[in-house]
Structure 1
Amino acid sequence: MEIIQEWIANTSNFLWTYVLAILLIAGGIFLTIRLGFFQFRFFGHVLAQTIGQVFKKGKHTGTITPFQAFTSALASTAGATNIVGVPVAIALGGPGALFWMWAVALIGMATKYSEIVLGVKYREKSKDGTWVGGPQYYIRKALGWDKVAAAFAFFLMIEIIPSLMVQSNSITTQVEGAFGWPTEITGIIMCVLVGLVIFGGIKRIANVTDKIVPFMVVTYVLGALVVIFANVGELPSVFALIFSSAFTPISAAGGFAGAGIAQAIRWGVARGLYSNEAGIGTGPITHAAAQTDHPSRQALWGIFSVFVDTIVICTVSGLAVLVTGSWTKVDAADASNMISIAFGSVMGETFGGMFVAVFLLFFVITTVGVLIFFGEKQTEYLFGLKASKFMRVVYIIAIYVGAIGGLQFVWQFLDLLLAFVVLCNIIPLVFLHKEIRAITQDYIERIYKERSGKPIIKLFSDQDQKQNISS
């Protein structure tokens, strides 16, 4: 067993440190350049068309509103990774890991935008009347790579199981420490709450997330800012440490064992990807159900979600543990407690732990609900609608098993399975860059120009415009 676990760990480390890091960063840079740095040049427009349109009702084809698609997608990413995952990355990769999270997010905006563009274009109506889409659909329809599409769906369907276990365990341990509740009780409560949500389908999930997620995000960020500004004098040295340790090894300090550049990149890239899921291909699964008149219009929410998830939430989490020095006070094995220590240093140990535990509970419940939806859609794609209902039960059981700390060997497969999911998605995405560019230029010419009254901005030559951009 130890030999197998060691092989899994070594293989995962190799893939995430070298293969996936190169593919994700190079792929994100490639798409950023081919889209004319769209996420930077049009960021003001992105804000106006996303957060500026929150209360606008959808009038176009789709199952849920654009904002509900955004909050549902954000619910899957704004979870344990943002709160306890960031400290883990810092514990294993040093403060420089935070820099690489930012780098992945900035270029990941183009990646996630591209995924959603294709997800909306190639979506279709399922037997139950809802709109479905995702990488498995655009890989099959646009490229004809049926086996790759099936592999993506299969690996994601299976990957959801260890992901749910890790998510549920992260909250039960926090709740047990903060309130003394047995993990079995918290596990049952989670299963019941998640079941009530997911058995209503994407519409009920969306109705829950569009109310809970914004409140959770705003309140958590405000709480983290209180901690940061209580230690505002440490900010200059903390930022200097982040940038310096991103490119040079950092020595041990307190409970921190030290880290090299490779570790900073490995954990920064991996946790950055876990955080915003750019390149994984989960984003377009929920956005494909949105009411929209153009793929690019809905894809703007993808850019905004990466900004909120990594640039905002992960940053305040990382800065909180760095300015308070909690990252040097515990060993890497207990890194998930760093954020509680950071909040406790300002709010009091008891209240700080309770604050983090409560928000983890809500974050994780919404996260696992959407993750199960992702898994169901992969099962539906592979085996049909009835099989997806059966898989829903399997996922709920996985929540409870993970909550009580069972089958931890399965958890070891999380990074490895996720690596296969990314490989199945990022390569086809790069192959479809011409189509993504053509759809983007069409949006700029027909919608952006009309709304702003500004001259047409060309992202690429007219030759590329011959690509079919119908949706």
Structure 2
Amino acid sequence: MLLQIITAISDFLWGTPMTVALVGTGLYLGIRFGFRYNFRKVGFNFRNTFGKMFQKGEGTGTVSGFAAACTAMANTIGVGNIGGVATAIVSGGPGAVFWMWVSGLLGMSTKACEIILGQRYRVKYSESMDEYMCDRSFVMKNALGWKKGAVVLSVACFVLGPWTCCVQTESVTSSLQEGFGIDPLISVIVLGVTCFLTIAGGLKRISSIMEKVVPIMALFYILGGLGILIMNWSIVPSAFGLIFKSAFTPMAGVGGFAGATVRDAIRYGIARGLYSNDAGTGYGIIAHASAKTDHPVRQASWGWGEVFLDTIVVCSVTALSLILTNAYIDYPDVDSAQLTTVAFKVAYGKFGGWFMAIAIAIFAWTTIIGMYYSCEKSVNYAFGDTKANRRATWVYMVYYMLPCVLFYNIEADTLWAMTDLLSAIYVIITLLFIYSKQREIFRLFHDFWDRFVPAQERGENPEPVVYGTVDEKAKGEF
């Protein structure tokens, strides 16, 4: 009964209400930004993101902008890119891919706002840990003054967060068992040990590992998908034609595919696209707050970089693999990540299955670690910059890993429904932040483009615009 209620609420929220809210917000912000994070400043955004991958960054912060972005992408580039895209095509047809691209292009501006908020309202902890940080609770207190609400939000995040990662553990164990016959108990032990050793090193170890693992795994996955395109190069144009055509006209049932309306294509494409890139959920606030940058708006260029890599590139690789191999039609009883695995098996034989087993396992592993960092910031907010925060963080590492290790075979439906519901709540809170603080967001935006950048182009050295201190020492709420 409880599962049915949670599922009904999450299905409703992730239907028309959330789609309209997120797409509408992305369009509104895109217009206000002059589409600088969508179309107009692609060269600038590329130079300030992927073009500075190996630079430490200017200004004040804990890690480089690229390392912070990789920590964020550990959350976004994951099983959702593999299973979520497959579900969108099975339910909405190939036309869903077009609307996924639309959601990505519009979500770039929303993600940029999250990053600006995280940089603007971040706090520097110096006694319990040497780190710049921010999350939704810090914004709620420091930007809106809602202290009690911030406490409730932080507790909810660090208590419920670990349980949503059980589905990631299940993805690891099931993919390795199917691909290599590895006993789930062995997989979960290795997963638990490696995750704990990584998160025990704090932000610097997490970001250091993520900036190596995430790009490499994403690159291999992209190359695997490009191989399928090369093998089917003669029908690639017709695949793109099918995507554009079925985005605006109903697609009739073919083989095992039941068919899809235009409404289905729009709904599942936009919903899965937004779910994949996390634009609007507030994770950008958390991951990018620690970045070294000379201006919050420069780091916001990763609002373009993250979504571009996640939705426009990685999700497209999955989608074209499914369409070119005809997997979504020939295997009607298969869905989610398993369907993508089937597509790679069709293209590469047994090697394709092995490749996907490894890809799913690593993507899920990085997501678990990325989610830990997000949840840890709620612990840091609750206990403040105190000795208690240092002790609580170590205790929390154990608590976080317990559900992942002990309940890897729990019924996934309940956890996915709870995850969807929590994500919807995060979206509502994040959009509230963006709209209530839009004056400050656009003040920083215009300061960067109208003053800071022109001054640099004239050869001047404008003072870095950085944040990270508060007048009142953070003593914590507990």
TM-score (normalizing by structure 2) = 0.89
What are the Cα deviations for residues 33-64 of structure 1, in whole angstroms up to 9, with x where unaligned? 11111212212101111112222223421111
CA positional deviation for 1:199 = 0.7
What are the Cα deviations for residues 288-333 of structure 1, in whole angstroms up to 9, with x where unaligned? 1111121011111222111111111111111111111011122365
Match of residue 372 from structure 2: 372
Amino acid at match of 2:78: G
CA positional deviation for 1:422 = 0.8
1:149-160 equivalence runs, <5 A: 149-150=150-151, 152-158=153-159, 160=161
Three-state SS of the structure 1 residue aligned to 2:130 is coil
Structure 1 unaligned residues grouped into runs of 5+ = 455-468
Amino acid at match of 1:86: V
Amino acid at match of 1:34: R
**CA distance 1:417–1:332, change in 2 (3 Å):** farther
Match of residue 421 from structure 1: 426
Three-state SS of the structure 2 residue aligned to 1:143 is coil
Q: State the distance in 2 between where 1:135 and 1:328 align.
A: 42
Q: Does 1:188 align with 2:193?
A: no
Match of residue 137 from structure 1: 138
CA positional deviation for 1:78 = 0.9
Q: State the distance in 1 between where 2:252 and 2:148 align.
A: 46
Identity of aligned residues (%): 38
Q: Does 1:64 align with 2:57?
A: no
Q: State the distance in 2 between where 1:331 and 1:162 align.
A: 31
Q: State the distance in 1 between where 2:404 and 2:410 align.
A: 10
Match of residue 26 from structure 1: 24
C-alpha RMSD of matched pairs (Å): 2.2
What are the Cα deviations for residues 76-131 of structure 1, in whole angstroms up to 9, with x where unaligned? 11111112221122122222222221111111100011110111011001232211
Match of residue 5 from structure 1: 3
CA positional deviation for 1:418 = 1.1
Contact 1:96–1:243 (CA<8 Å) still a contact in 2? yes
What are the Cα deviations for residues 160-181 of structure 1, in whole angstroms up to 9, with x where unaligned? 3343111121222111111011
**CA distance 1:260–1:37, change in 2 (3 Å):** same
Match of residue 17 from structure 1: 15
Q: Does 1:264 align with 2:260?
A: no
Three-state SS of the structure 2 residue aligned to 1:412 is helix
**CA distance 1:353–1:337, change in 2 (3 Å):** same
Amino acid at match of 1:353: G
CA positional deviation for 1:452 = 4.3
Q: Does 1:327 align with 2:325?
A: no
Q: State the distance in 1 between where 2:292 and 2:60 align.
A: 5
Match of residue 129 from structure 2: 128
1:5-404 equivalence runs, <5 A: 5-39=3-37, 40-126=39-125, 127-150=128-151, 152-158=153-159, 160-331=161-332, 334-348=335-349, 350-383=350-383, 385=389, 386-404=391-409
Contact 1:49–1:300 (CA<8 Å) still a contact in 2? yes
Match of residue 460 from structure 1: none
CA positional deviation for 1:151 = 5.2
What are the Cα deviations for residues 154-204 of structure 1, in whole angstroms up to 9, with x where unaligned? 454355334311112122211111101122221111111111100111110
Q: State the distance in 2 between where 1:390 and 1:98 align.
A: 43
CA positional deviation for 1:25 = 0.7
**CA distance 1:128–1:333, change in 2 (3 Å):** same
**CA distance 1:156–1:246, change in 2 (3 Å):** farther
Q: State the distance in 2 between where 1:402 and 1:357 align.
A: 20
CA positional deviation for 1:438 = 1.3
**CA distance 1:159–1:260, change in 2 (3 Å):** farther
Contact 1:377–1:388 (CA<8 Å) still a contact in 2? no
**CA distance 1:267–1:206, change in 2 (3 Å):** same
Q: Does 1:432 align with 2:433?
A: no
Amino acid at match of 1:362: I
Three-state SS of the structure 2 residue aligned to 1:257 is coil
Q: State the distance in 2 between where 1:147 and 1:102 align.
A: 39
Amino acid at match of 1:27: T
Match of residue 447 from structure 1: 452
CA positional deviation for 1:142 = 2.2
Amino acid at match of 2:359: F
Amino acid at match of 1:255: G
**CA distance 1:387–1:329, change in 2 (3 Å):** farther
Amino acid at match of 1:217: A
Number of equivalent positions:
454
What are the Cα deviations for residues 214-267 of structure 1, in whole angstroms up to 9, with x where unaligned? 211111101110012211222233223323333343333333333334433332
Match of residue 459 from structure 1: none
Contact 2:70–2:210 (CA<8 Å) still a contact in 1? yes
Three-state SS of the structure 1 residue aligned to 2:165 is helix
**CA distance 1:15–1:57, change in 2 (3 Å):** same
Q: State the distance in 2 between where 1:259 and 1:173 align.
A: 30
Q: State the distance in 1 between where 2:257 and 2:155 align.
A: 38
CA positional deviation for 1:353 = 0.4
Q: State the distance in 2 between where 1:415 and 1:434 align.
A: 30
Amino acid at match of 1:234: I
CA positional deviation for 1:407 = 6.7
**Larger mean Cα displacement after TM superposition, 261-270 or 80-89:** 261-270
Q: State the distance in 2 between where 1:51 and 1:77 align.
A: 17
Q: State the distance in 1 between where 2:159 and 2:29 align.
A: 29
Structure 2 unaligned residues grouped into runs of 5+ = 460-464, 468-478
CA positional deviation for 1:153 = 3.5
Q: State the distance in 2 between where 1:448 and 1:163 align.
A: 42
Contact 2:69–2:288 (CA<8 Å) still a contact in 1? yes
Match of residue 417 from structure 2: 412
Q: State the distance in 1 between where 2:252 and 2:201 align.
A: 51
Contact 1:98–1:268 (CA<8 Å) still a contact in 2? yes
CA positional deviation for 1:32 = 0.9
TM-score (normalizing by structure 1) = 0.90
**Larger mean Cα displacement after TM superposition, 387-396 or 124-133:** 387-396
